């Protein structure tokens, strides 16, 4: 065995071990090794372990594999839940949709249990395969940079403790523990890009282009990405203001920046506004910026980019939130908390949180004094009783209601949006 697997676990969770960790376990060697390593860690550090298996319902064997994981967990004295994916409408890329559903199901499960994070069994081999697949898609620095050990998605913290471990190391570990694992037959199905990439990697290894080499390269690219992000955020503190959940960038100062830093700042603003996991393609960003050379506005990824005065504003597009409703007390558009005046709103009052829209803005006499684009205010959250506007706290008509971002305005400048 070439790596100390227990040390990899400790490096991610010490010196302050989490109170509770969720573990995603499929029955394959990577996730089963992670489960056994975390079980031993938990016994030594008083951490509670909970386990979940996602059944995508795509193979008849999946239910038996989930049952196998449940049996292993029972022997270890751990709780186990099977999470069934039932919502796929057969549209889109299967593996992409399955990945999206997997994160959503696991995050919901983890929040219900109150775990501090969810551990995933991604390995150095996964990293190498992903790198080569992204080379084929002409990815840039960000796409080729190493997977992060920790990231946030779906309102949950995720941890990949085994990114420096080879799959062979994990299988050797399981064999030494007399633990069997399942090999998914889709891992040999050439219809999938990852399978073909895995086979190509085995050939490239003869040239020294193996998982270890690719891991080193991806770490180098991560350092470059981090430096670029740091420079972008430094610039943003000088040329960006954030108001009512919208981002306003000094156009002249933006134009003076290197094109890559301009692109990064635009992407950062888009992801901060719309909460999207993936950034838009560079070509889409450049197309929008070209459009803005001769047009006042353009839309991208559920956001509107609009030139007003000397600023480029980026805010939520009204069409993206026109049908978004929430109850008072719930999060609206995954961004906004609206708080009523103390003691004035009863639990049975028929109030709804919706976008302000044009009709609502007409009820706000002072909105022009805010010096925020009209289109940006249209997509802000408002309180409605049927068709009657009760409050618009971001459009100059608060009526003692308060609007607060789930991730405050300071987070735009304080840290990377890491996924």
Which DSSP string do the residues of 100-129 spell out, in sequence order?
HHHHHHHHHHHHHHT-SEEE----HHHHHH
* Residue 302: strand, helix, or coil: coil
pLDDT at 281: 87
Q: How far apart are alpha carbons 300 and 321 in whole angstroms? A: 14
User: Phi and psi (nearest 5°) for 366?
Assistant: -105, 15
Distances (CA, A) of 158 to 21, 259, 325, 379: 10, 32, 28, 31
Q: Give the gyration radius of the chain's Cα atoms.
A: 24
pLDDT at 1: 46
pLDDT at 382: 98
Q: How far apart are alpha carbons 372 and 363 in whole angstroms? A: 16
**Is 210 exposed, middle or buried, given 0-12, 13-18 or 19+ CB atoms closer than 10 A?**
middle
pLDDT at 346: 58
Residues in the chain, pLDDT under 50: 1, 417-419
Residue 286 tokens, joined: 């450049």
Nearest to 88 by CA among 58, 108, 65, 110: 58
* Residue 403: strand, helix, or coil: strand
pLDDT at 131: 95
* 279-282: Cβ within 8 A, 24+ apart: 279/142, 282/140
pLDDT at 56: 86
Nearest to 244 by CA among 188, 163, 306, 316: 316
Nearest to 403 by CA among 340, 358, 345: 340
Domains of the chain: 5-216 (3.40.50.620), 227-318 (1.20.59.20), 320-405 (no CATH)
Q: Please state, as a whole number, how many other Cβ atoms lie within 10 Å of the Cβ of residue 319.
A: 12
Tens-place pLDDT, residues 317-353? 999 999 999 999 899 999 999 999 986 665 557 899 9
Burial 117-141 (b: 16+ CB within 10 A, else e): bbbbbbbbbbbbbbbbbbeeeebeb
Residue 339 tokens, joined: 């708080």
Distances (CA, A) of 377 to 116, 334, 395: 36, 17, 6
Q: List, in order, residues 6 or more apart from 121 with CB less than 8 Å away.
A: 24, 25, 26, 28, 30, 31, 32, 33, 34, 160, 162
Q: Edge-to-edge strand order for the sheet containing 240-243?
A: 240-243, 246-250, 311-316, 303-308, 297-300
Element (H, E) at 133: helix 124-136
pLDDT at 185: 66
């Amino acid at each position: 065995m070439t790596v100390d697997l227990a040390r990899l676990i400790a490096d991610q969770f010490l010196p302050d071990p989490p109170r509770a960790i969720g573990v995603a376990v499929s029955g394959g060697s990577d996730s089963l090794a992670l489960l056994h390593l975390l079980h031993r860690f938990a016994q030594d550090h008083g951490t509670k372990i909970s386990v979940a298996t996602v059944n995508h319902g795509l193979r008849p064997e999946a239910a038996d594999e989930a049952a196998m994981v449940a049996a292993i967990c029972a022997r270890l004295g751990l709780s186990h839940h099977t999470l069934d994916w039932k919502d796929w409408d057969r549209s889109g890329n299967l593996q992409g949709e399955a990945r999206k559903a997997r994160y959503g199901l696991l995050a919901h499960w983890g929040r219900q249990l109150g775990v501090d994070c969810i551990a995933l069994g991604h390995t150095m081999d996964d990293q190498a395969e992903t790198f080569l697949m992204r080379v084929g898609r002409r990815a840039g620095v960000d796409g080729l940079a190493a997977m992060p050990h920790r990231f946030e998605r779906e309102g949950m913290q995720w941890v990949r403790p085994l990114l420096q471990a080879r799959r062979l190391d994990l299988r050797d570990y399981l064999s030494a523990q007399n633990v069997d694992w399942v090999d998914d037959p889709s891992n040999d199905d050439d219809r999938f890009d990852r399978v073909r990439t895995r086979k190509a990697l085995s050939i490239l290894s003869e040239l020294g282009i193996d998982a270890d080499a690719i891991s080193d390269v991806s770490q180098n690219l991560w350092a470059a990405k981090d430096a670029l992000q740091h420079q972008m955020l430094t610039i943003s503190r000088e040329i960006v203001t954030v108001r009512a959940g919208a981002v306003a960038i000094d156009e002249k100062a933006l134009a003076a920046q290197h094109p890559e830093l301009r692109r990064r700042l635009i992407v950062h603003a888009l992801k901060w506004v719309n909460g999207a996991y993936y950034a838009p393609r560079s070509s889409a960003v450049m197309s929008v910026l070209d459009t803005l050379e001769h047009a006042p506005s353009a839309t991208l990824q559920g956001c509107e980019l609009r030139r007003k005065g000397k600023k480029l504003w980026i805010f939520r597009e009204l069409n993206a939130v026109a049908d978004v409703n929430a109850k008072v007390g719930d999060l609206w558009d995954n961004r906004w908390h609206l708080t009523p005046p103390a003691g004035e709103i009863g639990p049975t009052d028929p109030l709804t949180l919706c976008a302000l829209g044009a009709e609502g803005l007409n009820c706000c006499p002072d909105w022009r004094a805010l010096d925020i684009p009209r289109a940006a205010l249209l997509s802000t959250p408002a309180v409605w009783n049927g068709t009657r506007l009760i409050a618009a706290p971001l459009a100059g008509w608060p009526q003692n209601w308060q609007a607060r971002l789930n991730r405050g305005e300071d987070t735009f400048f304080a840290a990377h949006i890491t996924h």
